[in-house]
Chain A
Amino acid sequence: MKISRIKDLLGAELFCGEDKLDTEVYSACCSDMMSDVLAFVKDQGVLLTGLVNAQVVRTAEMMDMACIVFVRSKTPSADMIELARESGIVVMKSGYRAYEACGALYSAGLKPVGNN
């Protein structure tokens, strides 16, 4: 699924990565616990989270994830956006709650991150 489609499906507002909206992503995971995210690796993933701090961006960077979606309209700080920009990660926020956002992406065909 293209990142642009995720943005549309979630009615999301983009903070950075305008030039990467055509990137294909293959899986997503949703968690507020970063070590849970770090336990399962898959290429080109999307991270959905309600947690807002710099470690979310660094976790996505460590995992080579392509896109972060903050749910429930949580807004990242300017520092976090800068960090993501440096790492080439697309950042957006959606008004959806985590459960709704996951449901929307799942039913549109985006798969969960599997065990590696």
Chain B
Amino acid sequence: MSENVTFHFDVDGENFSSAGEASVLVKKKLRQLGISPEIIRRVSIAMYEGEINMVIHAEGGSADVTVTDKEVAIVLSDRGPGIPDVSLAMQEGYSTARDNIRALGFGAGMGLPNMKKYTDSMEIETKLGVGTTITMKVKLS
């Protein structure tokens, strides 16, 4: 691959039933680019968790994926409430999700830890009342 490939998605925060759509599309595109299934799976799980988080915690946002010959970078950006204590939020099992979210199958407090686990790097920039931007990278080799 000589040139970088980028994808942009607006993630709708109003409509839970579409949550995860962008990640499914990215997975299809990465397959078309001939990236290995193992890498694709790591990228898609991390992005999916982040996409769902934007829907359930931040009323939606945007997702930008860039594929270079070295890595896949995923940037998830929202104008939600922000995360007051990032190290607490990163702990397995920590969740502020209410019962209505748990009834949808989310709110186990596993998303951020999963994102960290499946990517080579993850950075969280967050400001209360302003929003959160999460940048994750997965190396191709």
Partner-B contacts on A (CB < 8 A):
32-36, 38-39, 41, 49, 51, 53-56, 58-59, 61-64, 79, 87
Q: Please state if B105 and A63 are interface contacts (CB–CB under 8 Å).
A: no
Count of CB-CB pairs between chains A and B under 8 Å: 74
Q: How far is the CB of B9 from chain A (nearest CB, A)?
A: 14
The tally of residues in B whose CB lies under 8 Å from a CB in A reads 28
Give the distance in Å from the alpha carbon of A61 to the alpha carbon of B18 in the complex: 14
Looking at chain A's contact residues, the main secondary structure is helix
B17's partner among A36, A41, A54, A63 (CB-CB below 8 A) is A54
- A62 and B27 alpha carbons, distance in the complex (Å): 8
Q: Digit string of B1-27 for contact with A (CB within 8 Å is 1, else 0)?
A: 000000000000000111111011001
Residues 44-89 of B contacting A (Cβ, < 8 Å) = 44-45, 48-49, 52
Mark contacts of B72-114 with chain A using CB atoms, 8 A cut-off: 1 yes-contact digit, 0 otherwise. Answer: 0000000000000000000000000000001011111111011
Contact, CB under 8 Å: B45 / A63 = yes
* A58 and B23 form a contact (CB under 8 A): yes
The docked-state distance in angstroms from the alpha carbon of A33 to that of B92 is 14
